[in-house]
């Protein structure tokens, strides 16, 4: 039988797949008294203000909204609820759920819509409202994205899953708690420069190492935050981008992959196979390699996850992630700045909003609007969004239009 790999038709070598013409982000943190759909309006309004030539009711033909948990607000069906609150009733609106990669998957779906020709302009975003719940409840809701019959049933939490990846990584490669702590220190420094970050406080390696244990070896400051927030981008066909803005950001590579929901069923505990697969697809589509990336936003739900992301994305070899952070290569002034926004660690992690919040940061970086945390001369950006312990991964590669 002939094999037919449609993605092979998308070897674009830098040609745009679709273009981001605007983006918005709510402040990340605690939005007391605001319901998820209301928080989303904050992100949407910023996207409108950034793009005066966009007439949303006329132009936006479909809505894809990442939203992980109906438990937080006892509210599912978020696609239509959000569409209503941003004045787009009538447009096809769908909630996308892929755990913490919900809006990374929504972005991929937005690309499907634009590339199919069914919708010329789409709103892609995500939202989560979490802070009104206690830590035990949030821990339980997040755990729903892991395997119920063997992981949740045995009291294994999300920090627990990443902690097991950490012990395996420490055992196999000698990665240390101090190296993990350095990820947190870097991302808190970056977050201190981001006015929308939940935590804008510098921390030290000692702060991380002496913080309370959540799931050994992960301590409080190794873990991302419980956050309310929303994010969105407006996507269109590249040839239509100039109608809306003189300064679009092009998406030039996209990869998404699945793996077993249970961590215990994976071939490796020290790497995330879905992320490697998604990265390979995205790099191939873009005709680029890891050495071409100027700035990246990666899924640092836990510090060990950023170290493993470096390896899965090819920023260094397997087992060398700890050394990469130790040598300062990924700090804001390093060779390849990672998580200039502060990442999930300091900017915050409203799970459904995270994927497009990463795209928002890259949009700012590649249009020179990232202010104090601007990576100078950044042309190629990358986002890496994980769902669960890696059952979903979405990787996207972006190029500045002005370069």
Partner 1 sequence: MNGEETFTIESFYKFVAERKIMAARCTRCGRLHLPPRPLCDNCYSTSFEWIELSRKGKLVAFTVIHIAPSQFQHMVPYAVGIVQLQNGLRLPGIISGVSTDKLRIGLEVTFDFQACNGKETWPKWPRYCFKPA
Closest separation in Å from C-beta 158 to partner 1: 10
Could you tell me which residues are beta bridge partners of residue 380? 399
Binding flag, residue 156, partner 1 (CB under 8 A):
yes
Residue span binding partner 1 (CB under 8 A) among the ranges 70-78, 82-90, 113-121, 153-161: 153-161
List the x/- string, 223-262, binding to partner 1 by CB under 8 A. ---------------------------------------x
Considering the complex, state which of residue 370 and residue 386 has its C-beta at the smaller distance from partner 1. Answer: 386
DSSP E strand boundaries for 50-111? 62-66, 93-96
**What are the Cα distances from residue 378, in Å, to 237, 336, 365?**
23, 10, 7
Indicate if 396 belongs to the active site: no
Nearest to 42 by CA among 321, 178, 231, 320: 231
Angle of helix 158-173 relative to helix 303-312, nearest 10 degrees, comes to 60
Considering the complex, state which of residue 26 and residue 389 has its C-beta at the smaller distance from partner 1. Answer: 389
Binding flag, residue 165, partner 1 (CB under 8 A):
yes
Residue from 166, 305, 307, 344 touching partner 1 (CB under 8 A): that is 166
Distance separating alpha carbons of residues 322 and 180, to the nearest angstrom:
7
Give the DSSP letter of residue 55.
-
Residue from 216, 243, 326, 328 touching partner 1 (CB under 8 A): that is 216
In sign, the C-alpha dihedral spanning 101, 239, 280, 359 is negative
Considering the complex, state which of residue 60 and residue 143 has its C-beta at the smaller distance from partner 1. Answer: 143
Inter-residue contact 362 to 239 (CB < 8 Å):
no
Q: Tokens 């190296």 identify what position? A: 179
Total number of residues binding partner 1 (CB under 8 A)? 36
Residue from 91, 93, 180, 269 touching partner 1 (CB under 8 A): that is 269
Joined together, the tokens standing for residue 163 give 């902690």
Binding flag, residue 263, partner 1 (CB under 8 A):
yes
Could you tell me which residues are beta bridge partners of residue 19? 236, 250
Residue from 7, 8, 49, 265 touching partner 1 (CB under 8 A): that is 265
Indicate if 100 belongs to the active site: yes
Q: Contact positions toward partner 1, by CB under 8 A? A: 135-137, 139-140, 143, 149-157, 159-160, 163-168, 171, 212-218, 262-265, 269
Which residues carry out catalysis?
100, 349
């Amino acid at each position: 039988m002939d094999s037919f790999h449609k993605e092979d038709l998308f070897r674009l070598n830098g040609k745009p797949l679709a273009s981001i013409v605007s983006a918005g982000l709510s402040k990340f943190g605690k939005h007391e008294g605001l319901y998820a759909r209301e928080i989303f309006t904050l992100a949407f309004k910023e996207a409108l203000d950034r793009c005066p030539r966009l007439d949303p009711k006329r132009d936006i033909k479909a809505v894809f909204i990442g939203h992980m948990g109906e438990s937080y607000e006892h509210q599912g069906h978020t696609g239509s609820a959000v569409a209503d609150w941003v004045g787009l009733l009538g447009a096809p609106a769908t909630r996308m759920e892929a755990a913490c990669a919900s809006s990374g998957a929504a972005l991929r779906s937005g690309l499907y819509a634009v590339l199919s020709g069914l919708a010329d302009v789409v709103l892609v975003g995500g939202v989560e409202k979490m802070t009104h719940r206690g830590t035990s409840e949030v821990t339980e809701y997040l755990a729903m994205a892991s395997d119920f019959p063997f992981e949740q049933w045995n009291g294994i939490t999300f920090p627990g899953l990443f902690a097991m990846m950490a012990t395996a990584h420490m055992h196999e490669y000698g990665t240390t708690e101090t190296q993990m702590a350095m990820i947190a220190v870097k991302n808190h420094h970056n977050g201190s420069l981001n006015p929308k970050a939940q935590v804008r406080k510098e921390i030290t390696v000692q702060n991380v190492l002496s913080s309370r244990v959540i799931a050994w070896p992960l301590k409080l400051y190794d873990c991302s935050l419980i956050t309310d927030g929303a994010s969105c981008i407006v996507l269109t066909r590249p040839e239509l981008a100039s109608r809306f803005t003189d300064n679009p950001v092009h998406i030039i590579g996209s990869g998404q992959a699945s793996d077993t929901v249970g961590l215990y069923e994976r071939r490796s505990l020290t790497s995330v196979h879905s992320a490697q697969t998604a990265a390979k697809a995205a790099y191939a589509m873009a005709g680029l390699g890891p050495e071409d990336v100027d700035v990246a936003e990666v899924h640092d739900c836990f510090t060990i996850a950023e170290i493993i992301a470096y390896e899965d994305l090819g920023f260094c070899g397997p087992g060398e992630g700890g050394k990469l952070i130790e040598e300062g290569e990924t700090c804001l002034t390093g060779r390849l700045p990672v998580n200039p926004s502060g990442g999930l660690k300091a900017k915050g992690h409203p799970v459904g909003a995270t994927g497009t919040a990463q795209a928002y940061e890259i949009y700012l970086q590649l249009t020179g609007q990232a202010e104090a945390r601007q990576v100078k001369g950044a042309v190629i950006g990358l986002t890496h969004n994980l769902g669960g312990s890696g059952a979903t991964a979405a990787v996207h590669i972006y190029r500045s239009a002005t370069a």
